[in-house]
Amino acid sequence: MDNMKKQILIGTDSFEEIVGGNYFYIDKTLFIKELLENRGKVTLITRPRRFGKTLNMSMLRYFFNVNMDSKVLFDGLNIMEHKDFAEKHLNKYPVIFLTLKGVEGKTFDSSIMSISGLISGILQENLYLYESNRLSIRQKELFYALFLKKAPEVELQSALLFLTECLYTYHKKRVIVLLDEYDAPITNALMKGYYDEMVDFMRGFMGSVFKTNDYLEFGVLTGVQRISKESLVSGFNNPLVCGIMNKEFVTCFGFTEEEVKDACVVYELNDKFDEVKQWYDGYRFGGQDMYNPWSITRYLAEKEIDNYWVNTGSVRILQDVFYKGDSALKDGLAGLLTGAPVMMRLEDGITYPIKYVHSDTFWTMLLNAGYLKPCNGVTARAEKFGAELVNMEVKNIFSRYAEEWFGTQQPSISRIIVEFVEYLLKGDAEAVSAILNNELLNNPGCHDFKEENSYHMFIYGILLAVSGKYTVYSNSESGKGRSDCLIKPVDKEQYAVVIEFKHRRGELNSPKPRRGEPAHSPNEPMCSPKPRRGELNSPNFLKEEAQKGLQQIDEKAYVFTLKKEGYQRIYKYGIAFHKKNCEVAMEIVDSQ
């Protein structure tokens, strides 16, 4: 990257405007060469929103377009070091470039009008075709109708195919078609209630140009999801699909760590790099860790850590899932919030509408959208793998909706939340236990908290609701392991809190397994051993479990990190659950 500090331009995806205007730009031009060396006849590349897809497609347009003279624009960039390649391909092809990310109509008709307007704009750029004597009368009539946005819907569906025909007729060269954010109109239609109509239209709109088109040199599509319903994509000519698990183009979308470090040095922010990494790193494409380019660019401009990346479509789905999801899905989300990965299989394509259940389809959608990442060491060939939240910025999005859900799910518990947390932070174990047993755990709104992670999310959500002067961490590395919950006050003179949860399954007087039956179901999570018959009848059973929580805090040295950070006064809690009963044990660490 050029070491000169350049002005940062926010709000445009135009390669010519950014590079030609000498604004901040991290060179991704070698994507052009890698694409030609690895492309299919049709190549679909999926990446999260705001990861440079439109900018890269704009770059392809300026590099290949025969109607442009882009040598000066690309001078000094990495692609021009490959002189023979540049000489062979620079400005040598007719190009159609269309981005659909702005198609957000409230109705099907309004979205079709938006697409019609985009096609008209492309024709405006290529009026020389109409003015030439190379098109037939039939071609000129349809060209004019599309230009005036008066062509019927059936003609609009085949507009891209028609444009390739016109360009080939004039230039005698096959055409490169670049379709950016192909799935944006479909995702929008899903939220607005006309999904089936839009899928039918888009199937014809894309299929006509990308399937058995003799005028096509090659096509590139970008999007967030691979939509599979009724072969929307698979009907193309054997498309090469490059998703986030594949090795192709791994460093072409987003920023590498080296690129981010260099940028931080140039903009005099290198002393903040560790915090930047915690917030904006963690995206993993084909095993390569990448940084969020939108968040990094905004951070370099604003010089403040903040939540910059928002995808309104997926965020709405996240918001809805806390209210509509079944208990298994909530448990999966609870695990993510507390640092436990979800186990999933990667689906080849997404079928809308998404059901709010614990399913591979749902997790695949979140993985593609940039909220989850494969755990370290996972390859594209893995049949089943663990996935976890990407970074702090993404975790904050999840946490925000968890907090909203807990604040509105049961108004009857809101009045006691503040009181519960006040007792927790004062070290009053008896009062904490009384509130949990008598009010919170027996509230009707808590009926679906059955597993260990559900208790984690229950407690975590309550703490989030009143975390104004405290920072709450879950499953955070500390000492020799990961503590279930850490609460750190801004004022280090106040007490910090470390909590270890214990959860036991089983019914009272549960019978012994019959001969030949396993004592533990292979499908049952092994969060702790099942108690032996009669153990749960012991009045001391949960008390003993709570004490084991305290022992684990000591054995794993969970308070080590807190002391190292300057917290000398710490409350240690062991909280043991069985269904809607709990026991609380507490000890104080005071090094002052």
CATH code of the domain covering residue 177: 3.40.50
Residues 339 and 196 in one domain: no
Residue at token pair 């993985």: 367
How is residue 193 written in tokens?
């209630």
DSSP state of 592: -
Using alpha carbons, list the distances in angstroms from residue 214 to 103, 164, 175, 219: 28, 9, 9, 12
The pLDDT value given to residue 234: 54
Residues 446 and 381 in one domain: no
- Does 448 map to a domain? yes
- Does 543 map to a domain? yes
Residues 163 and 275 in one domain: no
Sheet holding 385-389, edge to edge: 342-344, 385-389, 372-374
Residues 199 and 274 in one domain: no
Residues 160 and 290 in one domain: no
The pLDDT tens digits of the residues spanning 531-564 come to 454 454 555 788 999 999 999 999 988 888 888 8
Sign of CA dihedral 105, 107, 110, 115: positive
- Does 419 map to a domain? yes
The number of distinct structural domains making up the chain is 4
Burial class (CB in 10 A: 0-12, 13-18, 19+), 261: middle
The rounded distance, in Å, linking the Cα atoms of 163 and 386 is 45
The pLDDT tens digits of the residues spanning 152-199 come to 999 999 999 999 999 999 999 999 999 999 999 998 998 899 999 999
- Does 548 map to a domain? yes
The rounded distance, in Å, linking the Cα atoms of 232 and 242 is 16
Residues 97 and 32 in one domain: yes
The rounded distance, in Å, linking the Cα atoms of 76 and 393 is 34
Residues 102 and 169 in one domain: yes
Residues 433 and 564 in one domain: yes
Residues 426 and 547 in one domain: yes
- Whether 469 and 487 have beta carbons less than 8 Å apart is answered as no
The pLDDT value given to residue 53: 97
- Does 513 map to a domain? no
Q: What is the DSSP string of 259-284?
A: HHHHHHHHTT-GGGHHHHHHHH--EE
- Whether 397 and 385 have beta carbons less than 8 Å apart is answered as no
Q: Tell me the whole-structure pTM to 2 decimals.
A: 0.83
Q: What is the DSSP string of 354-371?
A: PPSSS-HHHHHHHHHHTS
- Does 317 map to a domain? yes
The rounded distance, in Å, linking the Cα atoms of 437 and 40 is 61
How is residue 518 written in tokens?
């396993």
Neighbours of 368 (CB within 10 A): 24
Nearest to 342 by CA among 326, 366, 307, 322: 366
The pLDDT value given to residue 232: 67
The rounded distance, in Å, linking the Cα atoms of 155 and 165 is 14
Residues 148 and 76 in one domain: yes
The pLDDT value given to residue 523: 37
Helical (H) or strand (E) element with 52: none
Question: Pseudo-torsion of CA 143, 149, 154, 158, nearest 10°?
Answer: 50
**Cβ-count burial 16-48 (b if 16+ within 10 Å, e if not):** eebbeeeebbbebbbbbbebeeeebbbbbbbbb
The pLDDT value given to residue 103: 96
Name the domain boundary from 393, 421, 450.
393
What range defines the domain where residue 284 resides?
257-302
How is residue 339 written in tokens?
């640092």
- Does 515 map to a domain? no
Per-residue pLDDT tens, the chain, 592 aa: give them.
565 789 999 989 999 999 999 999 999 999 999 999 999 899 999 999 999 999 999 999 999 999 999 999 999 999 999 999 999 999 999 999 999 999 999 999 999 999 999 999 999 999 999 999 999 999 999 999 999 999 999 999 999 999 999 999 999 999 999 999 999 999 899 889 999 999 999 999 999 999 889 999 999 999 999 887 554 665 566 688 899 999 999 999 999 999 999 999 999 998 999 999 999 998 999 989 999 999 999 999 999 999 898 655 566 777 777 777 777 787 788 778 777 788 999 988 888 887 888 788 889 999 999 999 998 777 767 789 999 999 988 888 887 777 777 667 655 556 677 788 889 899 999 999 998 888 877 765 555 554 556 666 667 666 766 666 787 777 767 778 878 888 888 888 999 999 998 877 665 343 433 434 433 333 333 344 444 544 545 557 889 999 999 999 999 888 888 888 899 999 999 999 887 788 999 999 987 6
Longest dimension (CA), the chain: 95
Alpha helices in 281-387 (DSSP H): 293-302, 312-324, 327-337, 360-369
Residues 316 and 235 in one domain: no
- Does 171 map to a domain? yes
Residues 343 and 447 in one domain: no
